[in-house]
Amino acid sequence: MSQDVTSNVIPVILSGGSGSRLWPKSRKAFPKQLHKLYGNYTMLQHTYNRVDGLAAPIVVCNEAQRFMVADQLSEVCSKRPTILLEPVGRNTAPAIAIAAMQAKKQDENAVLVVLPADHQIKDTDIFKQALDIALTKASEGKLVAFGVVPSHPETGYGYINALSECDQGAEIKCFVEKPNKEIAEQYLASGEYFWNSGMFVFCAKTFLDELEKYEPEIIVSCRQALKSSAEDLDFVRLDKNAFSSSKDISIDYAVMEKTSKAWCVPLDCGWSDLGSWQALWESSEKDDNNNVSLGDVVTINCEGSLFHSEYRLVAGIGLKDIAVVDTDDALLVVNKAHTQDVKKVVDWLKSKDRSEFNLHREVHRPWGSYDSIDNGDRFQVKRIEVKPGASLSLQMHHHRAEHWIVVSGTALVQKGEEEVLLSENQSIYIPLGDKHRLTNPGKVPLQLIEVQSGSYLGEDDIVRFEDTFGRV
């Protein structure tokens, strides 16, 4: 595609999913699209890399993940993305509507390439060929959906029924829900059904016109949410009251199933939404016994299984069709045929207000990260890493004191009105109630050990006085 053709083609990356069926790797505050599940990039970065020849992307994500999204994009994207923050989740129709309105502000003739951030595409050349076709049809006023050519009778995806198939795609007859296995086999045999990928291409104006025709109240809510939005650092905060009033509905239900402009472009490129551990096993390279081993893994007499380890050696003996996923604070062992039921564990964790639902032991913050490596009744030990040039908020605690020991790098510590520069093996004590701030003034990451002691050690015992990142 030439620069002239692509200058008004804007990728819209939807990064609001939770990926609950990939627990314990995927958590609410650190979902699957922000992880490296294959290759050297996170799924969000892979998604951007497929369309890096287009205009700067518009990314829709939730507030809690905004800094991780921005950091990951900065590693692969030389253009400045527009990051729209959803105050609440309202499904894909409102998210895409907001992105389309933003795109029209940038270019009245903008064409959108809508991509979920959590998909795998093995053959990007075939994807780009299909994208060229989709862009041509979008210029003709079509709302294009990519229909994945099915390789097996999948029951975990919705399907698209196209009237006929040709080089340029086909008019969509209807969308159908996830079928049972018998119906999925019929779809596969007919040759007229495709997996609904959730990826779309259309002119922003065409989409908004169709959405206003079928769901006008969404247009009203989203227009007000964008009009009353506020810029915050590198982000656009949508107005919460306006956006919350929007209907919670997918683009399929809101527009694609109703419009006469729906068009399907077939896609046969090794696509997967990696929605379960079974799906990751299917898409990954296997050994002679059909095992997939990710991390430090040894297998003896195992067959057709998946092993995923992040922090320690995992050994499997005599296992067949099992998925074993080990993280810093949770272990999952599941028959591959039941990986769709992992969501039931997540629902249980949520109902019990367990931390494993929301966070990993290692927690990412805009300034870096911390890992809670030990804790007891009145103490907690954390390993803290601060990015070069980054600073924590100026804060104090009512219930705990802290002792910091620098392991590597240099720390600039504000303690009351005093500033102290610490190097490796030096330490400082922060009494309960003292205002303090930790900064990394150097060019390399700062690593330190923090020992907390006190009657209450919760993360909500923080009073912030100043914060570079605008947190309350």
Same domain, 368 and 297: no
Same domain, 195 and 255: yes
The residue out of 272, 299, 334 marking a domain boundary is 272
- pLDDT at residue 203, as a whole number: 98
Same domain, 169 and 191: yes
pLDDT for residue 167 is more than 80: no
- pLDDT at residue 63, as a whole number: 87
Same domain, 294 and 155: no
- pLDDT at residue 4, as a whole number: 45
pLDDT band at 17 (very low <50, low <70, confident <90, very high): confident
- pLDDT at residue 6, as a whole number: 62
pLDDT band at 2 (very low <50, low <70, confident <90, very high): very low
Same domain, 10 and 68: yes
Tell me, yes or no, whether 40 lies in a domain: yes
Mean pLDDT in residue range 436-460: 96
Tell me, yes or no, whether 352 lies in a domain: no
Mean pLDDT in residue range 69-79: 94
Same domain, 215 and 294: no
Tell me, yes or no, whether 54 lies in a domain: yes
The whole-model pTM stands at 0.89
Task: Give the residue numbers spanning the domain of 462.
Answer: 362-466
- pLDDT at residue 338, as a whole number: 95
Tell me, yes or no, whether 280 lies in a domain: no
Tell me, yes or no, whether 350 lies in a domain: no
Mean pLDDT in residue range 89-94: 95
- pLDDT at residue 3, as a whole number: 42
Same domain, 266 and 407: no
Tell me, yes or no, whether 357 lies in a domain: no
- pLDDT at residue 168, as a whole number: 85
Same domain, 305 and 187: no
Q: CA-to-CA distance for 147 and 196, rounded, in angstroms?
A: 5
* Percentage above 90 pLDDT, the chain: 89
- pLDDT at residue 426, as a whole number: 98
Contacts of 128 (CB under 8 A, 6+ apart): 1, 50
- pLDDT at residue 100, as a whole number: 98
Same domain, 264 and 291: no
pLDDT for residue 380 is more than 90: yes
The residue out of 345, 380, 396 marking a domain boundary is 345
pLDDT for residue 389 is more than 60: yes
Least confident of 300-304, 310-314, 320-324, 404-408: 310-314
What Rg do the C-alpha atoms of the chain give, in angstroms? Answer: 24
pLDDT band at 282 (very low <50, low <70, confident <90, very high): very high
Mean pLDDT in residue range 13-42: 92
pLDDT in tens, 334-371: 999 999 999 999 999 999 999 999 989 999 999 999 99
Q: What is the number of residues in the chain?
A: 472
Mean of all residue pLDDT scores within the chain? 94
CATH of residue 146's domain is 3.90.550.10
CATH of residue 460's domain is 2.60.120.10
User: What is the number of structural domains in the chain?
Assistant: 3
The residue out of 320, 345, 370 marking a domain boundary is 345
pLDDT band at 107 (very low <50, low <70, confident <90, very high): very high
> 282 φ, ψ to 5°?
-65, -35
Tell me, yes or no, whether 355 lies in a domain: no
Same domain, 338 and 398: no
Give a three-class secondary structure readout of the chain: CCHHHHCCEEEEEEECCCCHHHCCCCECCECHHHCCCECCECHHHHHHHCCCCCCCCEEEEEHHHHHHHHHHHHHHCCCCCEEEEECCCCCHHHHHHHHHHHHHHHCCCCEEEEEECCCEECCHHHHHHHHHHHHHHHHCCCEEEEEECCCCCCCCCCEEEECCCCCCCEEEEEEECCCCHHHHHHHHHHCCEEEEEEEEEEEHHHHHHHHHHHCHHHHHHHHHHHHCCEEECCEEECCHHHHHCCCCCCHHHHHHCCCCCEEEEEECCCEECCCCHHHHHHHCCCCCCCCEEECCEEEECCECCEEEECCCCEEEECCECEEEEECCCCEEEEEHHHHHHHHHHHHHHHHCCCHHHHCCCEEEECCEEEEEEEECCCEEEEEEEECCCCECCEEECCCEEEEEEEEECCEEEEECCEEEEECCCCEEEECCCCCEEEECCCCCCEEEEEEEEECCCCCCCCEEEECCCCCC
Same domain, 152 and 240: yes
Same domain, 125 and 217: yes
Tell me, yes or no, whether 75 lies in a domain: yes
- pLDDT at residue 165, as a whole number: 61
pLDDT for residue 412 is more than 80: yes
